[in-house]
Amino acid sequence: MINKRIQQTLAFGAFRIVSFLVVAILFIILGFIVVRGFSVISWEFLTSMPEDGMKKGGILPAIVGTMCLIAGSMIFAFPIGVLSGIYINEYLTDNWLKRFMRTMTNNLAGVPSIVFGLFGMALFVNTLKFGDSIIAGSLTLGLMVLPVIIRTTEEALKSVDDSVRLGSYSLGASKLQTIHRVVLPIAYPNIITGLILSISRVSGETAPILFTVAAYFLPKLPNSIFDQVMALPYHLYVITTSGTNIEETRPMAYGTALVLIAIVLFVNLLANALRRYFGKKVKMN
Amino acid sequence: MKKFRKQIEKFVEGILFTSSTVTSLTVIFIIIFLFKEGVGLFNSKPVEKSYTIAINPNNPINTISSEHLKEIFNQQITNWKDLGGNNDSIMLFTLEDAASLFTEEELGPDFEYLPQKINEYILSTPGVIAYFSDSYIPVDFGGKKIPVSKISVGEFLSGKEWYPTSSPVAEFGVLPLILGTLWVSIGAILLALPIGLITAIYLSEVSGQRFRNILKPVIELLAGIPSVVYGFFGLVVLVPFIQKTFNLAVGETALAGSIILGIMALPTIITISEDALRTTPQSLKEASLALGATRLQTLVRVIVPYSRSGIIAACILGIGRAVGETMAVLMVTGNASVIPHSFLQPVRTIPATIAAELGEAPFGGVHFKALFALGIILFIMTMGFNFMVELTKAKKYK
Amino acid sequence: MPEHKVETKNLNLFYSDFHALKEINFKADKNTVTAFIGPSGCGKSTLLRVFNRMNDLIVGVKMEGKVYVDDKNIYKKNVVVDELRKKIGMVFQKPNPFPKSIFENVAYGLRVNGENNKEFIADKVETSLKKAALWDEVKDKLKKSAFELSGGQQQRLCIARTLAIEPSIVLMDEPASALDPMSTAKIEELIYELKENYTIIIVTHNMQQAARVSDFTAFFYLGELVEWDTTKTIFTNPKESKTQNYITGRFG
């Protein structure tokens, strides 16, 4: 009996240590990049063009490029994702079509990011003749995050209590009116949270943009959606692995990694804050 | 107005339906494009299009398999008798040799005499095998052209060498890449599964709400860190560490890839196993505790077995993600395309190969097609893992 | 001879294989209150939802027989369901206000039915809230969220919301089951007053409530309409022994 207790205490202690290891891993990675990158970050680093084989200067074009890709992919993926989520959850009854669409969404979510890269290159760059461009990259990234947006929309809609739908129907509201005026306003906070998290995904993906938009070194800002741009994750990859002088570009790499992490952190915090804000608001009501 | 409303409803439903077809269409288009480019590989020859391989007309050999061609140009086969021909040693001839064999005068200022010289050389050298551009074939060519067979599916899948740009015969054997991919991914799961599972158990069954509140955002952040940042961290911290610890020539190894991929797989494994553990009915736990079992015994003997299929699903999904992961692996595994024998060797995965080589592969060429064929393999592998996850889930609900 | 607002003929309803309503023949007259009573799963709520075609929203429902509202078959192909539902109001078991202001909750039904005149809407909101005996309690906070109201107030808001679109029939699915006794009393009072202008059908678990508010009572058991008569007869002199057993609390 005592043995059993001791065994349990020891085991739970070990479990605890392992769990803290997970927390530790995150803090080691974040800490390392923050500490090394912090001294690199300056106003100049964020707002100037790269110079001298990317050993000096800043990362402005990469920041701008990433912002363009975020905006471009969201303009495309957000409406389509939300509309499909609505269709699948509100219009389709439980039949083969619903199962088929769910399966296809799952399949798309399972496609590796590099395959999106291949596909984007074959379809947007070569077949549709967009060339390496913001639009080709944005569409590729947009297709990649589509499943994320569809799923969060579906989840958000599922969490809306059926009684409000019935209440609305009983007043003679049509399906569209019910969705538009009652269901969506309740589901919006969760949909927006999902959208924000998909921004975090888009901002960090490299493989899909390798062959669709990313430029190795392009010290100017884009003029149109058919321009190539630099992007933060690709820039980080380039200056860590294939710069002309890897040792000298290392500080720039730390700075770029920190900026990337900062964007992801900021987006996650924003999503969490929104979740808490909306959660409180609902409770208060 | 009322009539209008009905039409608007129909119209909006149409728009919604159209949007919802985008995912399915994308999946179908991905398959179409991968196959359109990738299958073309098996319709091409491993030798560059506008090049010819020719031998002396008196040589009894009429065909040479691409396997043997490789070995000839790698000088592994040096005598024609190895191929069933005369006992003549093989003389390789490529355009680079022209400069040393003939003087500049003989070739002429614009190489206008080169075709003729090649012809003469082939006719005068019994053991010759020449590889040269079609544009240098003279009108009265007397050599024997050797047809090169197309790349076969079997060769592609079982080939042990991946030298897509080697000349004159490129080698497209994906076996080392497939094995490298599985090797790194399975290594990652072996590392991540115990840690992830224990954390999930601790989270769902042992810890209090306070630790939960810490760990949940930590997991979300781990999942949110871009893979290129993981790769960067691996390259500047982990790789040198492995190199020193094991006293290796290079630190970029399968082990580094597995560790980084393992960390990246943690969020998936923790979240899905925790969901699985939570499905254990309270009554089952209470029954076990009521029989005098400790919480640990209940965990090991009741909760974990009950959630088995969910945990397996987490594991497969983790491998599936790891198989498709590109950037981090590309940066830390060293990318040597050899069949792996140890975790302390460099390996090369399929996604890393595509990412590293597509930029340099000429559009529409054999190499380009081969990379799309790799994409097909990767796509099939990940779909297979997805399918297995669905299967384990379906089993559970039966 | 009072006209029949609601009538069913040989109505059968199935949820896939489950026979939920069996050969129901029922009528409700204008300006009366009918109570549906019976143990859970007896089909009383299902029948209620037949009248405004709420069952359309459930997958696998099959129906046979005829349902008339104002002598028109409401399951004919050319019936516009939204229009039908506008004519037949429904109050649900749990108060289900929309996440909007009190004002907007009542105005909702008007707006979705194409009403844009602000003055008309404001006027209608006020009269509806008055009819639902809620006006005095909320007239100073119309812009506040409906969730700030108590459960009983929310239920009366839902009634006001229903009244705003001027239905002629009001269906109530256990409207007081989630409320405290005080609120329940208010709702019952309200039902009594509403009878003057509306035909009301109310599903209830509460025998006393049925006795207090209704003119007619229908007793359902396992999908059958066992007995249907004036409330007085049902509660004092039922013909069927099953009814007798139920109202004296021997099962259910």
A230 or B109, which is more confident? Answer: A230
pTM comes to 0.85
Q: A96-128 burial by CB neighbour count: b if 16+ within 10 A, else e?
A: eebeebbbbbbbbbbbbbbbbbbbbbbbbbbee
Cis amide leading into B168 (omega within 30): yes
C113 Cα to chain B: minimum distance (Å): 9
Q: How far apart are CA B265 and CA C173, in angstroms?
A: 50
Most trustworthy range by pLDDT among A77-91, B94-108, B359-373, C197-211 = A77-91
Give B5's contacts in chain C (Cβ within 8 Å). Answer: 114
Answer whether B1 touches C (CB < 8 Å).
yes
What stretches of B159-281 show up as alpha helix (H) in DSSP? 175-201, 209-224, 227-233, 239-245, 254-278
Q: How far apart are CA B10 and CA B19, in angstroms?
A: 14
Question: Mapping DSSP to helix (H, G, I), strand (E, B) and coil, where does residue C27 land?
Answer: strand
DSSP assignments along A188-238, one per residue: HHHHHHHHHHHHHHHHH--GGGTTTTB-SS--S---STTS-B--HHHHHHH
The residues, ordered by sequence, that sit 6+ positions from A9 with a Cβ below 8 Å of its Cβ are none
Go through the domains of chain B in sequence order and give each one's CATH number. 51-165 (3.40.190.10), 175-397 (1.10.3720.10)
The reported pLDDT for the residue numbered B184 is 93
Rounded CA Rg of chain A = 23
Structure tokens at B137: 């074939």
Q: How far apart are CA B59 and CA B44, in angstroms?
A: 26
Residue of C nearest to B1 (CA): C114
Q: Is C56 exposed, middle or buried (0-12, 13-18, 19+ CB in 10 A)?
A: middle
Answer whether A259 touches B (CB < 8 Å).
no
Q: How far apart are CA C39 and CA C45, in angstroms?
A: 11
Instruction: Note the pLDDT tens digit of each residue in B225-246.
Output: 999 999 999 999 999 999 999 9
Give A177's contacts in chain C (Cβ within 8 Å). Answer: 112
Residue of B nearest to A99 (CA): B24
Inspect the interface and report whether the beta carbons of B1 and C114 lie closer than 8 Å: yes
The reported pLDDT for the residue numbered B158 is 86
Inspect the interface and report whether the beta carbons of A146 and B23 lie closer than 8 Å: yes
Give C79's contacts in chain B (Cβ within 8 Å). Answer: none
Answer whether B291 touches C (CB < 8 Å).
no
Looking at this protein, which amino acid is placed at residue C218? A
Q: How far apart are CA B303 and CA B296, in angstroms?
A: 10
The reported pLDDT for the residue numbered A284 is 41
CA distances from A222 to A229, A231, A232, A235 (A): 6, 12, 15, 16
**Inter-residue long-range contacts of A8-17, CB under 8 Å, 24+ positions, other chains counted:** A8/B294, A8/B295, A8/B296, A8/B297, A11/B296, A12/B202, A12/B206, A12/B295, A12/B296, A14/B198, A15/B198, A15/B199, A15/B201, A15/B202, A15/B206, A16/B202, A16/B206, A16/B207
The reported pLDDT for the residue numbered C250 is 64
- Check if CATH label 3.40.50.880 holds for domain C4-247: no
The reported pLDDT for the residue numbered B125 is 83
Inspect the interface and report whether the beta carbons of A167 and C158 lie closer than 8 Å: yes
Answer whether C114 touches A (CB < 8 Å).
no
B6 pLDDT higher than 60: yes
**Residue A209 · residue B358 · CB < 8 Å:** no
**Residue B351 · residue B330 · CB < 8 Å:** yes
Residue of B nearest to C113 (CA): B2
A187 Cα to chain C: minimum distance (Å): 11
The reported pLDDT for the residue numbered B121 is 84
C80 Cα to chain B: minimum distance (Å): 10
B57 pLDDT higher than 80: yes
Instruction: Report the Cα–Cα distance between both ends of chain A, in Å, rounded.
Output: 52
CA distances from B187 to B192, B247, B342 (A): 9, 21, 11
**Residue C101 · residue C95 · CB < 8 Å:** no
Q: How far apart are CA B333 and CA C217, in angstroms?
A: 79
Mutate to test the interface with A, among C53, C80, C98 (most CBs of A within 10 A): C98
Average pLDDT over residues B183-191: 93
Q: Taking the CB of residue A219, how many other CB atoms lie within 10 A of it?
A: 15
B324 Cα to chain A: minimum distance (Å): 5
Of A110, A127, A175, the CB nearest to B9: A175
Give B1's contacts in chain C (Cβ within 8 Å). Answer: 114
Kindly give the confidence (pLDDT) of every residue in chain C, 252 residues in length, as a single tens digit, with 9 standing for 90 and above: 456 688 999 999 998 888 889 999 998 988 899 999 988 888 888 999 899 888 887 778 888 899 998 888 888 888 888 888 888 888 988 888 888 899 999 999 888 888 889 999 999 999 999 988 899 999 999 999 888 899 889 999 999 999 998 888 999 998 888 788 888 888 898 888 888 888 999 998 888 888 889 999 999 998 889 999 999 999 888 888 888 888 887 665
Q: Taking the CB of residue B150, how many other CB atoms lie within 10 A of it?
A: 12
The residues, ordered by sequence, that sit 6+ positions from B182 with a Cβ below 8 Å of its Cβ are B323
B285 pLDDT higher than 80: yes
Give A163's contacts in chain C (Cβ within 8 Å). Answer: 92, 94, 96
Q: What is the band of B2 on the pLDDT scale with cuts at 50, 70, 90?
A: low
Inspect the interface and report whether the beta carbons of A170 and C89 lie closer than 8 Å: yes
Inspect the interface and report whether the beta carbons of B226 and A204 lie closer than 8 Å: yes
B215 pLDDT higher than 80: yes
Structure tokens at C180: 């405290």
Of B26, B294, B359, the CB nearest to A210: B359
Mean residue pLDDT of chain C comes to: 88
Kindly give the confidence (pLDDT) of every residue in chain A, 285 residues in length, as a single tens digit, with 9 standing for 90 and above: 567 788 888 999 999 999 999 999 999 999 999 999 998 888 888 888 887 666 778 889 999 999 999 999 999 999 999 999 999 999 998 788 998 999 899 999 999 999 999 999 999 999 999 989 999 999 999 999 999 999 999 999 998 988 889 999 988 888 899 999 999 988 988 898 888 888 988 999 999 999 998 887 887 888 888 988 999 999 999 888 875 667 778 888 999 999 999 998 898 888 888 878 876 655 443
Answer whether B7 touches C (CB < 8 Å).
no
Look up tokens 């844009």; give the residue.
Answer: C116
What stretches of B82-207 show up as alpha helix (H) in DSSP? 95-101, 104-107, 114-124, 153-158, 175-201
Angle at B137 between CA B134 and CA B139, to 5 degrees: 135
Go through the domains of chain A in sequence order and give each one's CATH number. 57-284 (1.10.3720.10)
To the nearest 10°, report the CA torsion of C204, C209, C213, C216.
60
Q: How far apart are CA A129 and CA A127, in angstroms?
A: 5
Answer whether C113 touches A (CB < 8 Å).
yes
What stretches of A39-158 show up as alpha helix (H) in DSSP? 43-47, 60-86, 96-110, 113-120, 134-158
Size of interface B-C (CB pairs under 8 A): 4
Answer whether C100 touches A (CB < 8 Å).
yes
Instruction: Note the pLDDT tens digit of each residue in B29-46.
Output: 999 999 999 998 888 888
Angle at B22 between CA B18 and CA B23, to 5 degrees: 135
Mutate to test the interface with B, among C77, C82, C86, C111 (most CBs of B within 10 A): C82
Answer whether C112 touches A (CB < 8 Å).
yes
B377 pLDDT higher than 80: yes
To the nearest 10°, report the CA torsion of B90, B93, B94, B100.
130
Helix (H) or strand (E) holding C22: strand C18-29
Instruction: Note the pLDDT tens digit of each residue in B134-161.
Output: 878 877 887 888 888 788 888 888 888 8
**Residue B59 · residue B80 · CB < 8 Å:** yes
C235 Cα to chain B: minimum distance (Å): 43
Mean residue pLDDT of chain B comes to: 87
The reported pLDDT for the residue numbered A189 is 86
The reported pLDDT for the residue numbered B398 is 46
Pairing state of beta strands B51-55 and B128-133?
antiparallel
Q: How far is C-alpha B39 from the chain's CA centre? A: 16
Tell me what ipTM this predicted complex has.
Answer: 0.91
Mutate to test the interface with C, among A163, A171, A176, A184 (most CBs of C within 10 A): A171
Angle at A265 between CA A259 and CA A269, to 5 degrees: 145
Cα–Cα nearest to B23, from A142, A192, A158:
A142
Inspect the interface and report whether the beta carbons of C80 and B2 lie closer than 8 Å: yes
Q: How far apart are CA A57 and CA A217, in angstroms?
A: 12
Domain spans in chain C, listed from the N-terminal domain onward? 4-247
Q: How far apart are CA B29 and CA C237, in angstroms?
A: 73
